[in-house]
Amino acid sequence: MKAAVLHAPGQIRVVDAPDPMIQEPSDALVRVLLCCLCGSDLHPYRSRSTAPVGKWMGHEFVGVIEETGADVARLRRGDVVIAPFGWSDGTCDRCRDGLPSSCRRGGFWGASGAPGAQAEAVRVPLADGTLVKAPVTEHSALLPSLLTLCDVFGTGHHAAVKGGVGPDAVVTVVGDGAVGLLAVLSCRLLGASRIILMGRHRPRTALGVEFGATDVVVERGQEGIERVMDLTRGAGSRVVIEAVGSLPAYEQALGIVRPGGVISRVGLPQYDEAPVGLRMFVPNITLTGGTAQVRAYIEHLLPSVLDGVVDPGRVFDRTLALDDAAAAYRAMDTRASLKVLLKP
């Protein structure tokens, strides 16, 4: 089968890879209908020093069950399924605790030695715990929106949940990438009354406004901080969602959060250490968030997609064939595209 691989930093190739096969009785084989690129795929792509050459790429896919192992009880051939970005058994103490991304038997596609999801097919371990059946056909127009449940919509939702967003919340979202925009949408679904979006890419912030942002701040750094302070009458934002993962974005969040407030992070941190001393301690700032528990949110968010209440698939602004994965990476790397859909 075809699969995208990181040949060298900045070089993606679609290669002939071994067809996946059932290895364990809890496995399922999924033929990929749609997959896509994530902001986090760009980290190894851009890395000039530490990119693991030969790394399989991608961790988001919807597909059709082709075959199931002997122990798989909840799924059968022909089911259209949504796969979270990692597998989990659904039964360990951590899964029961709402932490499937920390599952004791879990792992992640394109990591943990597993192939990636930018491919024609994927072997899914612990299929009963991992996959969620979607009540649609493989020709459904909803597939792109269902695909966002694999990672980016669930990650935006996670940011809002961990930030404690509820009715009438005032939230600032730092970052106008797909995660930031879907954090905006999630905040709206949770009843936030004011959603300030910080971003400088006009078409993206325009989509953010359609998703529910009430204010857009294009300024960055100290100017951006002052702008948010003005918008909140000097109080700052009680909840700040940091949807980038860079140190400047973290600093931005720290600058605009109000005393007693929360910074909820969902951008994969590109730093090891950051300021958490007196600047955070004295005003009682809480730092929370982390790897999203996307598996735990799929059933919760699915009805809003099926009912057409939301259309998170709008974050995809380009569709390419899997064969054109290299062009897809270039488009996202140069910000020519917000998020690229790949069709095997």
Q: Nearest approach, Cβ of 11 to a second copy (angstroms)?
A: 25
Angstrom distance (rounded) from CA 209 to CA 283: 31
Q: Nearest approach, Cβ of 97 to a second copy (angstroms)?
A: 6
- Looking at beta carbons only, is 208 or 245 nearer to a second copy? 245
Q: How many CB atoms lie within 10 A of CB 268?
A: 16
Q: For tokens 């910000």, what's the residue?
A: 335
Q: Nearest approach, Cβ of 131 to a second copy (angstroms)?
A: 22
Cα distance between the two ends of the chain: 10
- Looking at beta carbons only, is 26 or 264 nearer to a second copy? 264
- Looking at beta carbons only, is 22 or 183 nearer to a second copy? 183
Rounded to a whole number, what is the largest CA-CA distance in the chain? 61
Q: Nearest approach, Cβ of 262 to a second copy (angstroms)?
A: 8
Angstrom distance (rounded) from CA 69 to CA 127: 9
Report CA Rg, the chain.
20
Q: Nearest approach, Cβ of 188 to a second copy (angstroms)?
A: 23
Cβ-based burial of 327 (10 A; exposed 0-12, middle 13-18, buried ≥19):
middle
- Looking at beta carbons only, is 20 or 289 nearer to a second copy? 289
3-class SS of residue 55: strand
Q: Nearest approach, Cβ of 130 to a second copy (angstroms)?
A: 18
Burial 231-258 (b: 16+ CB within 10 A, else e): bbeeebbbbbbbbbbbeebbbbbbbbbb
- Looking at beta carbons only, is 25 or 275 nearer to a second copy? 275
3-class SS of residue 176: coil
Residues in touch with a second copy (CB under 8 A): 93-94, 97-99, 101-102, 162, 235, 259-260, 265, 268-269, 271-291, 293
- Looking at beta carbons only, is 12 or 228 nearer to a second copy? 228
